[in-house]
Structure 1
Amino acid sequence: MKCKCHNNAKGMVLIIVLILVGVITIVGLGFIVRGDAELAFGQNMEMKADMDYLADSGLAHGRGLVMCPHDLAGEPNVYLVQQLSTGSDYYDVNVTKTSELDFQIKSDAYRMQNGSKFATNSLTAKLRLDPAVAFWTNTGCQFNYNSNVVVNGDVYCSDSLENDGIINGDCFADALTGTAATGRLNAKTALTTLLSRPTITYALLTSNFATQPIGSSSLNNVTLSGTPVVYYRNGDLKIISDVVINGCLAVNGDLTITGTNNIITAKKNAPAIYVSGNLILKEGARITIDGLVFVDGRIEMPVLNQSTAITGSLIVDDGIRYILPDYSSNHYDGVINGDCAGADGKLDGAINFDGSGDYIDIGNAANLNITSKITVAAWIRVNTFDKAYQAVITKGDSSWRLQRYSNTGRMEFSCSGTSNPILIGIRSVNDGLWHHVAGVYTGIRMYLYVDGVLDNYQDAIGSISTNSASVYIGENSEMTGRYFNGRIDSVKVWKKGLSSVEIWELYTGGSPAGTDLVGCWYMNTGGCSTTINAAPLKAAVWHWPSGVKDRWSPAAGAFYKSIVRN
């Protein structure tokens, strides 16, 4: 019996040892499995971090493509596959343009093994280009009410900007007067620290791109398209109507647009238009431009019946001048100064002068120095006579002039140099009503008419003095500050003395016959549309700062509006 119990004890010990060995084995295997799992988890975390980094890199790559699209075949949409140095990690970038300034970027990062993708990480971002310059000028500038200027994008002005149009964006200028922009007024350095004016010249364009010369001084009903990137004219060029140019138009001189249905579309990395002189838009001009417009001089823009649409960017060194056409054969077009605004006139349209800085500069052409016989006429409606000798139309204060007499409500017609130079009216025109006023010098007598009827006259002989002063409507170039306050319509000058019958004909809406008309300014405004849309991808070009080829775009920055993990 004793031996049997001993054997049972030994068996129990063996069982306990086996159990302990099993437990130890199981625990050890658990540690091994756990270690393998932790190792795998660590590797997965590392791979996820790698894919996160790759996806972020894809977004940055897409942002760079949008900011500097010069090496792309065209505008995005862009689908790009980029292999990294590891040889198995990739990202795909898809860029979609949703507007000229907004883009969607989708970045897919993944690892390739045996032809399959895994560990994919996908991000989608909305990117906005900002600042994005639609208009840049190196002088003070005005967006005139009459030209209906609308700018969709940011504006840079190296001096002050007077805005009577619409600016949907920020302004970088010394000051902004008139209508506020939808964005902010910023210091100029806020932009110039990020972006500089591109370095582009006629010589650089014609020596760095495939070219074709334009032999004629005018283009009409023609299409220029093909291999050349730059079509160039060494001299002034006039575009009439139905001109289509697929490429850059480079003009070493002035470019004048006179007619309709004109379209210019830039080719990759070149401007749409380069002008070394002035860009002159005439009444009736219609032009659509895709790309960068670069003008070394100024833009002359009529205040009646023109349409200009630019999608890209406009750079003009000497700002914009607004032009009042002269309908005589002399074409002494006037330059509008101040914030002259179109208004209802007596015959059709008129211009309202607010009595503070508004006038029209007709210039000092030799034919305006009239010495023997002259007639000066205009329709006026006085808001208020609040300054002595307020001007209707004058050639300074030492030649001929039609103006208010002193501080009265009467008119004055003067011809300096004659024997009896100053003729003063009798009837008051300071009543807020329309009046036709006319001054006539025949060489032996001076006449002043109001509403077609003789108001006063006097004998006078001799030659009218000449001077170098510019003819102004609404001001006196030799005695400044005599700004007219009211409306002026239908201003005309003849180098002859009209008869009383012809003055009556003029008052009743007729037009005296003859070829002696020197100037005719109807003062009509309206029918204008000037739209400038910032489009950095269309306006991105090569330029040559310090003679070295480089990229330029009107987009000075970009920010993500949102980033979503897919």
Structure 2
Amino acid sequence: MASRLSFYFALAVLLATVVDASNSISSTSDEAVSISKSLFAWWKLDEKIGYLVADSSGNKATGLVKQAESQLAHTTDGIVFDGATYIFMGTTPSLSGQTDFAVHAWVKVPPHIKQQLCIIQQRSDIYGEWWLWILNGNLWFTVYNREYQFNIKGTVPVTDGTWHHVAAVRNGTVGSIYVDSKLDKSQNGSKIVNLNSSLPVFIGYDPRDNKRYFHGELKEVQIFSAAVVPVGFNPMSSYGIIVHSSTIQQRCMDRVAAFNMRDSALPEFSI
């Protein structure tokens, strides 16, 4: 029984869901397709010293922390951004063309903060950009290239001094934002605009306008090159992936039944 429970937990942490063009939900565990293939960049922000932020996706999108102070403000949960700190990722994690994509992060913002805040963006002084900001305490997700594909301003507050999982997703012409796995708002654009991969990625700052410094804490920032949506809140997941519990439960039962029929031991999974 213990091994089976471990099996369930491992799958629950590793699996996620993707919304396809028909707006149906399908698990990325479908045989050869795994969530790791769409994980484009993953910054845990758990470094204790130094000015480099590791990319745990394996794509080598190392970030460089820049700030006015001489000491990094790390905590056990993430990095503290004090309004003068940001992270430069360069163009290694930059997205291109009309690809579906998603951005996930954990944010903790003090309730007294009222100004615009940049969580993460791919943006510069040329077109083909996207950003996930906070405006008036709510999420703001935009994709733009000479015209807006969508410009979504949320309604669910995320600046209350507690941790929130936030996500922004482009799925074809549709853009959506989520707070703690629940859909906040969606918008349907008239067409899919191209992203420009020559634009660098920044966490915590908008250098084009020289403002929108983040105030608060960030951790587990991820970029996916697929429309990975948070459809089942799992605050215990250290992987940062939000899973669709019913899909996983059924898939777990199917695989357990298959192994039982073969009188074989359950496979080992590592997280």
Same fold (TM over 0.5): yes
Q: How many Å apart are 1:369 and its aligned residue? A: 3.5
* 5+ residue gaps, structure 2: 1-44, 244-271
Please tell me whether residue 385 in structure 1 is matched to residue 117 in structure 2. no
The structure with the greater share of residues assigned to strand is 1
The structure with the greater share of residues assigned to helix is 1
Q: In 2, distance between residues paired with 1:415 and 1:471?
A: 14
Q: Which has the higher contact order (CA 8 A, sep 6+)?
A: 2
Contact 2:150 2:187 in 1 (8 A): no
Q: Rg larger in 1 or in 2?
A: 1
1:448-489 Cα distance to aligned partner (Å, 9 max, x none): 000111111111231243163321110113222210000001
Please tell me whether residue 304 in structure 1 is matched to residue 47 in structure 2. yes
Q: How many Å apart are 1:507 and its aligned residue? A: 5.2
Aligned to 2:261: none
Q: In 2, distance between residues paired with 1:439 and 1:410?
A: 12
Identity of aligned residues (%): 27
Paired AA for residue 55 in structure 2: D
* 5+ residue gaps, structure 1: 1-301, 307-320, 514-566
Distance 1:305 1:455, change over 3 A: closer
Aligned to 1:421: 150
Contact 2:95 2:197 in 1 (8 A): no
Q: 2:188 aligns with which of 451, 454, 459?
A: 459
- 1:72-151 matches, within 5 Å, as none
Q: How many Å apart are 1:400 and its aligned residue? A: 1.2
Contact 1:396 1:469 in 2 (8 A): yes
Q: Which runs of 4+ in 1 moved over 6 A?
A: none
1:20-76 Cα distance to aligned partner (Å, 9 max, x none): xxxxxxxxxxxxxxxxxxxxxxxxxxxxxxxxxxxxxxxxxxxxxxxxxxxxxxxxx
Distance 1:442 1:483, change over 3 A: same
SS of residue matched to 2:61: coil
Q: 1:435 aligns with which of 147, 164, 177?
A: 164
Q: How many Å apart are 1:305 and its aligned residue? A: 6.9
SS of residue matched to 1:412: strand
- 1:339-354 matches, within 5 Å, as 339=69, 340-345=72-77, 350-354=78-82
Q: How many Å apart are 1:371 and its aligned residue? A: 3.5
Q: How many Å apart are 1:365 and its aligned residue? A: 2.3
Q: How many Å apart are 1:353 and its aligned residue? A: 0.4
Q: In 2, distance between residues paired with 1:508 and 1:445?
A: 29
RMSD over equivalenced CA pairs, Å: 2.6
Contact 1:402 1:439 in 2 (8 A): yes
Distance 1:370 1:354, change over 3 A: farther
Q: In 1, distance between residues paired with 2:47 and 2:158?
A: 29
- 1:303-342 matches, within 5 Å, as 304=47, 322-338=51-67, 339=69, 340-342=72-74
Aligned to 2:101: 374
Contact 2:106 2:165 in 1 (8 A): yes
TM-score, normalised by the number of residues in structure 1: 0.31
Q: How many Å apart are 1:333 and its aligned residue? A: 0.6
For these two proteins, the number of residue pairs brought into alignment is 188
Contact 1:410 1:426 in 2 (8 A): yes
SS of residue matched to 1:344: coil
